[in-house]
């Protein structure tokens, strides 16, 4: 069974979706620790509800980004993770820690990358009158939100352009796609080769078609 670490900063709704998928047996993995850089993150309560060990490493306790990264890297190393999932983790990690866990760290980003890396993606989509919005799951590299894409899901924005409703719909597809990706990674069916190409091991064309989808929610 794979050892999974989840990094969060906020609400933790994706964390709970992953927990439920693990508890049901859908994911052949165990969440051995949830790490938050925000001591007030509601995701900590979600983790505690399921008796999952939680660690707070508050970035405000460190006088440099490097020192925060070093503390996080040391703690992660102790846990010996097979997979590290950044699920609403709002810190940019440095090259050293990313390279230490190369090919083991994935990030969920709320846009159809390469569109809108960084913050405020929903607002940018609405401001630019885009017709579609979505999410991307990618391997983490030192370049912000630019790692090899594993999966994407998109929705049509339509006539309802209320920000809160758009965010709600995006959360729905996040909760659907992220556990699916984690499931396949825990089965070693998705990985990076030596050329940093994403490989879908079992029935490559079938798996890939499942992870680049348009959804109606």
121: exposed, middle or buried (Cβ count in 10 Å: 0-12, 13-18, 19+): buried
The answer to whether 6 touches 37, Cβ cutoff 8 Å, is no
Q: Which stretches of 126-177 are assigned E, i.e. beta strand?
A: 132-139, 149-156
Rounded to 10 degrees, the C-alpha dihedral 15/5/111/173 comes to -40
Angle formed at CA 76 by CA 74 and CA 78, multiple of 5 degrees: 75
User: Which of 109, 122, 133, 138 is labelled catalytic?
Assistant: 109
Distance in angstroms (rounded) separating the CA atoms of residues 44 and 32: 14
- Give CA 127 to chain center in angstroms: 25
The answer to whether 6 touches 15, Cβ cutoff 8 Å, is yes
Q: Is 138 a catalytic residue?
A: no
Catalytic residues: 109
């Amino acid at each position: 069974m794979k050892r999974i670490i989840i990094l969060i900063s906020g609400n933790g709704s994706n964390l709970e979706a992953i927990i439920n998928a693990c508890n049901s047996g859908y994911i052949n993995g165990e969440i051995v620790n949830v790490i938050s850089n925000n001591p007030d993150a509601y995701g900590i309560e979600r983790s505690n509800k399921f008796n999952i060990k939680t660690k707070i490493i508050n970035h405000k306790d460190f006088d440099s980004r490097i020192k925060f990264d070093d503390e996080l890297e040391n703690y992660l190393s102790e846990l010996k993770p097979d997979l590290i999932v950044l699920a609403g983790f709002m810190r940019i990690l440095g090259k050293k820690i990313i390279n230490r866990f190369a090919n083991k760290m994935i990030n969920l980003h709320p846009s159809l990358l390469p569109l809108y890396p960084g913050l405020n993606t929903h607002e940018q989509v609405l401001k630019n009158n885009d017709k579609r919005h979505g999410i991307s799951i990618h391997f983490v590299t030192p370049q912000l939100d630019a790692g090899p894409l594993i999966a994407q899901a998109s929705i049509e924005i339509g006539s309802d352009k209320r920000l809160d409703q758009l965010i709600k719909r995006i959360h729905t597809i996040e909760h659907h796609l992220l556990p699916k990706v984690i499931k396949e990674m825990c089965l070693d069916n998705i990985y990076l080769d030596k050329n940093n190409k994403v490989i879908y091991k079992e029935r490559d064309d079938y798996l890939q078609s499942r992870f680049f989808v348009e959804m109606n929610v």
